[in-house]
Amino acid sequence: MKRVVYGRDMKAVDRRTIEEIGIPSMVLMERAAYSCLPYLEDKEKILVVAGTGNNGADGIALARMLYLKGKQVEIFIVGSGSGSSEWQLQMQIVKNLGISFVTTPDFSAYDSIVDAIFGVGLSRAVTGVFAEVISEINAQKHQFILAIDMP
């Protein structure tokens, strides 16, 4: 039997894993990204839509892994802010690799879209530019859409 947990429960699991067991947050991000790879093996042109939180960092790590596998991948950052230290590190890595960023993507131009905007911590209504981008992603009918953590 598979279990599904609420967001608050998953946050508690993450906190315990990091603080009590001692597995760094960065390792959890890498594992989250790595676990998404099998779903994108047959895809070639991928857009990673990333927020500025830790879910976005998961997506940025995934973009790097896809790029290193020879996939055509671009990153679209939604929102503002400096992000966590893990997010900043993931961003620096993809910039060092020369992975492309887009500011006004044509969502229909990709065969896959990765939603790494919000994670399990989301507990409010989605509004503004976030709602617009999610609506645009949801309007795509022919692409494979993969959400990290939370659809």
Q: Tens digit of pLDDT for each residue in 95-133?
A: 999 999 999 999 999 999 999 999 877 778 888 999 999
Using the Cα atoms of residue 82, residue 37, residue 4 and residue 27 in order, give the sign of their dihedral.
Answer: negative
Mean pLDDT score, 76-100: 93
Q: For residues 47 and 119, which has the higher predicted lDDT (pLDDT)? A: 47
- The 112-116 sheet, strands edge to edge: 100-101, 72-77, 45-50, 112-116, 144-147
Q: For residues 1 and 62, which has the higher predicted lDDT (pLDDT)? A: 62
Secondary-structure breakdown of the chain: helix, strand, coil percentages, each rounded to the nearest 5: 50, 15, 35
Res. 81: pLDDT tops 90: no
pTM of the model: 0.91
Confidence label for 26 from pLDDT (cuts 50, 70 and 90): very high
Structure tokens at 7: 């967001």
Give DSSP secondary structure letters for 17-48: IIIII---HHHHHHHHHHHHGGGGTT--EEEE
What is the distance between the alpha carbons of residues 87 and 26, in angstroms, rounded to a whole number? 9
Q: What is the mean pLDDT of the chain?
A: 92
The confidence score (pLDDT) of residue 142 equals: 87
- Through-space distance between the first and last CA atoms of the chain, rounded to whole angstroms: 21
The confidence score (pLDDT) of residue 10 equals: 83
Res. 151: pLDDT tops 80: no
